[in-house]
Each structure stands twice: as structure tokens, then as C-alpha cells.
A and B are shown apart, each in its own frame.
Chain A
């Protein structure tokens, strides 16, 4: 059914366009398919005034791959001169993606007696292209704009007991930037360097005044503040998870400040035992009550946590997390497994019972026949009679 719709779409395209009536339907269809193989476009373009980009595209959909490649090099150079930086970046990105696509079909318009006087119809099928297979159609199908998510798709398995330290780390970073008057979203921009990151973030003592609205960061070593803010770009978010839990031998000195109005957060001295939550020494969890009413702070922290853990934090959690503790609670709950099979295996109840079997996939009638040993007999007999084993014949 799908193929028919797409076929229809190409026909509609042509009918919409102001195509001359002299072209036969075959050539019109070819033209439509050619047009639709443009760079990530799903609507037809009616070229009125040709921009520089469009002229480049025309040159790139050339006749054979070798000339295309040479053309591409020339085109890149020209584009660099002509276009602005942003446009050039977008353009090179498009070209790279187009290069990943399979080699385009040759120009069919030349293979016609009407256009080309030297045209001779072929007598054999050698060298002719094949039309109409499933793969051919799949190549022509418009898959929409190529999209890569910024999370990367893979969740890094951050354990629940490490999550607390990571959240605290992120909160400290964000607060540091905020208090320095910089844009809080910077914590997401570049990969942050790691050598002293852990120590610096952990050594910062958080002072909360009032009901969590006003937060002060006091650094054990004053230079830490500058260093926390200007870190060299180095490693990817996934390394933060590992680096935060490297066992450090450094003993972090607490910054002691005495003020009766101020609740001071005492720090964990070092990550103990790879983060056993119950054994974290003297963590009074003051920092858990820091308010996230400031939305820019909230979004920055959430985005950074999503980068580090690889997990998507849903909108309702974002909306509800007015305090750090709520956010931490949402992160520490394990996501529900998507399949019942995974859920049961995780709970470990039924796997230990010997008279229960869990199947990863749906148990089909063929599986049942296989279990009984009848399937091979059925299959053999069907093949002997020339009948299709599964599905219908010829489809």
C-alpha cells in the first residue's frame, strides 16, 4: 500500500507542476523522481530565481561519479569564498550527508530518441539499470530530514548510588557559573575537563540561606573558583561518570565557616566505596533543598544531567522539580523495563523457579510446533509439495 501512495505522490507532483504536455508520462515520472532526490526535501520546489546554492546543486547532480567528485572539490572551494560561515557549515553538512547516500542514477533524459540524436536502443540488458525492486523503491523513499538526537541514544548505566554525587557535582557547577554572572547553560556546551573537577566540585561548600532561595558557594581553595569556571575542553560527558568515582587519595579540607543563621553543608571527604549512599559521611543533604525556581538554572542542570547519564528526563519531572531532591528522586528511580520479559528477569522471581520458562519473544504457533518436534515434519512435507512454508505463495 505504501508504495502506491508514494507513486501517487510523484504523479501528483507532476500534475501540480507546470509541466509541458509534450513529455510522456514515463519521462515526467523520471523527472519527478529526479527532483525528489534533492537534498532532504519533501515538498516540491518550483525554481523561480536560482540562488547560488541551487546552481551548485545542479552541478553536483552530474553525469558520473568521477566528474561529480572533481566538481565537488571545486564547488567546496567556491562555496567557502562566497558563503558566510554559517551557510558554509550548513552546506558542507548537507554535502557530507549527500555523499553518504548511494550514487545517483544516471540522467535518463539523455536516453531518449527525442532528446539525443545519437541514441540507439539497447539490444541486451548489460549495463542497464534495474527498476522497480524493493531496494530501488527504498532508496527513492523520502525519509525526511536526517535527524540525530543530541542525547546519543545510549543510556550510560549510572548506578542509583552514584547519582547523588553526580547531581551534586552538576548543581555546584551550575551555581558557580550563576554566581559568577555567566550563562548557566555553559555547563552543557563543552565537555568539561576533568583533572581537578571532582575535587573542585566536591570541595565547594554550599551554604544555604533562608528557605533555599539564596545559595552561597564557598571554596576551600580560592583559586578553585576560577578554575571551575575556565576549564579546558577535554572529554565527553561519559567520562565524568567515571572520573567522579575514581578513588582519590586527596583529602579535601572542609571550608569551615561559623554563622548561626547559615546552614552549612558538610562535604563528603572523598567518594567512599564507589558511592555507597548510606555510608556517605556527614552529608547533611542541605544541598538537596536548594530551590530550582529559577528556570534557567533548572533547565541547565537538567540538560547537563541528561547529557551525563544519557537518560531522558520527562517533562513532568522537569515541571515538578522545584527542588534538587525531587530531581534526584526522579533520577534514582530506575526506568521501567519496556518488556514484560525484561521486567520479570529483573525481578528475579520467576527465573529461579525451575518449572517456569521465560520467552524473550512471543511464542508463535510455529514455536509450539517446534517444541513438540512436529515442525520439521510439516516443513518437509510443505517443501515436498512445493507449498510456501510461511506466508502466501508469490507474495
Chain B
């Protein structure tokens, strides 16, 4: 299967460089270079304006590749980080020759942030400034970080998931969801933003320092609702609708498989906890200005969400300007370097049962719990160290306050040690892409060897 060239599509998110010549066979309207407007505070007109030219370009890139290549567009200077076959394409121009160059971005905070994160010099300050502007601060898609965030979110999610799956091939799905959230969830990215020293502006505007994160703040959850009778957070929540499931009117439990298919990378609903659809089940007394409604219409957002969008956008911008290696490096330095005690994410209901079924499936002898040592049986706080054995091999051991507790804990420990098995040296699939870019002209260092794939977790 042909390798998908994300950089080709993603290049449309960057500002225009040169006007595209018209393909004689295309049916779309002639592209006219747009003049980016000056930065404006949020206004109603901006929200309703639709960026038609960008939408059209999306369409043509996927369906009609241009037959006439754009002349005189020199490829960017090759650097160590650039992927070998990024011919920065006609769809990824920077500033049009007919538009006047935008004034340089001057901000001490911004320059300091760029240096503090050791971002490559190929990532311009202007793009970093764009990453800090949320869609609620400026709805114009060329000036906010929403498009870059889409790309970056997928990239970060991909890198994190492949890391977790390659490192822990037997990891259960629920734990994988939890670990994914722990590494790149909104809460974690909010902490990361604080660790980086990125502060948020009180209100967005053109006069705000360009090194601040700009977004429109949402009313606090414990603020009084519009009607003045109760608090916003106590507003009646609707049953989730619009999740994409075919059985949602029956209020089925959202199982793991269902989450894999319909929900996002963390197993959460795509549109937030409760989506406001036009279903008749929606409570008519829900205040229109509830915080959820505001977030969905794009009027305001929380600091957590804005931080997450910023970091996603930064990853996306890094990918577009500096290539896959730089982005993966960024991911390794900032995301994977964070310590996660993954064993704490497990929660078992009946570990002994699960362990029995696991041993049966794997063809081990049935697990037997044996007391290894104990102390204080007659005292108030005895300690029983119990080991679970399959034949002569100990699968796991743990201590408990009673024999039963020790047995259950030991079974849980055995299951954890099974699920958290990690091969000594593991490789991730994206390594091949980066390797290929670096060793241009040289023989490939390593062929790809398949990683271990597990039959799956025990489901009871």
C-alpha cells in the first residue's frame, strides 16, 4: 500500500507562499491569494464567515492532483531533520508574492519560549505565536491553532499509542486508554504548559503580549446560571446523544469494544460528556449559556482545553516545518519522558478467576496459591505473604492482612506481571519512516521485524 504522505496534505495549514497556477483541467474557481487581515478581536461576523478557499483546496488535493507543477518554487533547504521526500509541495506555500509581508513578531516572551523549549530554528516565531491563539480568541482559521492542532493531536496520539503497544504488547484496552490519557490527556498537557512557563492572557486581543496563550474564558462551573435560580454545574445533564452508535436510544452501556469503534483515543465521547443534539430527549430547561454549550459553539473554552490545543498545534507545526524526526523527538522529550506508574492503572474485580482462565488459555497448569511466609496470625495485624504458582513456577506473590486477601492480591500481581510484560528492546513502526529519511542513499540499518502481538486480555 502506498505510503500516505501526511506532509503533503498538512502543508495547506501553513500560510500561503505563492499563488498556484491554474490547472487547465480543474473545475474549481481560480485561486486568488488572500490578504491575511490584521488580528482582530472576536466578532460575530468572523464566526459566520466560511473559509471557502481552504475548503476547496482540501477537496482538490485529495481528488485531483494538479497536473501542472508550480514553477519557480524552490524546495526548502535540506536539513538533518527533513524527511527525504518532502518536496514542499505546491500546496504548502508560505507568503504570496502579491501580498505584503506581515510585520515581524516581536515578543521577548515568545522568543524566550522558543529558546527554552529548544525548538529548531526552522520553526518560525510567527508559527509559534499562531499556536498560542485558540479558536475562541480568533475564529479565522489561518490565524488560530485549530488546524495545526488537528494534525498534532493525531501525531501525538499515534506516537504515544505505538509506544505503549510496542512496549507493553499485552496491555489491556482499558489500561491503554488510561495510559494514553495519562501521557497526552488534557489534564497532563495543562500541567505541561505550566511546566513550560506559558501563561494565559486574561482576555484575547491584538495588544496582548504575543507569548501568552490567548483564549476566551468560559464561565466557571459554579457561577450562577442565567436564570439566577441555580448554579451552572447543577444544570440538568442530558443523556449522551449524537455519539454515532446505532443503539443509543436504548441507553446501552458503552463497552470497551464500543469505545474503540466510536469514541476518541482515550475512550471518551467525541463531543464531550453530554452532547446537545436536536433530539427530543433534550431537556428544554437546560440553560442555553451552559458551559458545555459555549464550548461546543466555539465561544469559550477552559484553560485545560486551550493548553491541550496549544501543545497539539505545536506538534503539528513542528511536523510541518521540521519533519517527522523533530516531532518524534519532541514527543520523546516531553511526553514519554514523563514518569507513569502504569501498574497503578489496573483494577481487577475477580483476579483469581481471570488468572485461572488465563492459565487455561495459555496452557499452563492451574494456578495454586501457597503461603510463603506469615507473621502475627493471632495478632491484630497479621501479614501473610502468598504466592500463586503454576506448577513449580511462581506467577506472582503479594502480602495481605488475611489469607484470602493475600491470595487475591497475589493473583492480581500475577495478572499485572503478565499484562505488563515488556520485551527488552522494542522498536516502533514510525522508526522506519524516520530511518529512511536520515539514511538517504545509504543501505538501511535494520529491516523491520514484527513486534509481538498478543491474543488479548482476559475478558470475563
Contact = CB atoms under 8 A, between A and B. Distances in A.
B203 A376 contact: yes
A357 B210 CA distance: 12
A370 interface: yes
A377 B207 CA distance: 13
Interface in A173-218: none
Nearest to B41: A376
Interface string B51-69: 0000000000000000000
A127 interface: no
Interface residues of A, number: 12
A374 B115 contact: no
Interface string B203-222: 11101110010100000000
Contacts of A356: 108
Given A371-B209, A372-B208, A377 B203 contact: yes
B201 to A, nearest CB: 4
Interface in A352-395: 354-357, 369-374, 376-377
Interface string B189-206: 000000000000111110
A96 to B, nearest CB: 48
B174 interface: no
Interface string B103-132: 000111101100100000000000000000
Contact of A373 (B109, B115, B202): B202
A374 to B, nearest CB: 4
Interface residues on B, range: 10 to 19
A124 to B, nearest CB: 48
Contacts of A374: 202-203
Interface in B87-109: 106-109
Given A372-B202, A372-B212, A377-B202, A355 B207 contact: no
A231 B208 CA distance: 62
Q: Which of A354, A356, A373 has the most B CB atoms < 10 Å from its CB? A: A373
Contacts of A371: 207-209
Contact of A355 (B112, B202, B208): B112
A374 B200 CA distance: 11
Nearest to B205: A373
Interface in A319-370: 354-357, 369-370
Nearest to B115: A355
A196 to B, nearest CB: 51
A337 B115 CA distance: 32
Nearest to B107: A357
Nearest to A371: B209
Most A CB within 10 A of own CB, among B109, B115, B205: B205
A192 B267 CA distance: 91
Contacts of B214: 373
Nearest to A374: B202
A373 B201 CA distance: 6
Nearest to B212: A372
Contacts of A357: 106-108
Nearest to A358: B108
B209 A355 contact: no
B398 to A, nearest CB: 52
Residue of A354, A356, A370, A374 contacting most chain B CB atoms (<10 Å) = A354
B213 to A, nearest CB: 11
Contact of A372 (B107, B112, B209): B209
A356 to B, nearest CB: 6
Contacts of B112: 355
A369 B207 CA distance: 10
A53 to B, nearest CB: 60
Interface of B: 106-109, 111-112, 115, 201-205, 207-209, 212, 214
Given A355-B111, A372-B201, A376-B207, 9 more contacts: A354-B108, A355-B109, A370-B207, A371-B208, A373-B201, A373-B202, A373-B205, A373-B208, A373-B214
Interface of A: 354-357, 369-374, 376-377
Complex A-B, nearest 8 residue pairs according to Cβ-Cβ distance, in ascending order: A374-B202, A354-B111, A355-B112, A373-B208, A373-B201, A373-B203, A357-B108, A355-B111
26 contacts: A354-B108, A354-B111, A355-B109, A355-B111, A355-B115, A357-B107, A357-B108, A369-B202, A370-B207, A371-B207, A371-B208, A371-B209, A372-B201, A372-B202, A372-B208, A372-B212, A373-B203, A373-B204, A373-B205, A373-B207, A373-B214, A376-B203, A376-B205, A376-B207, A377-B202, A377-B203
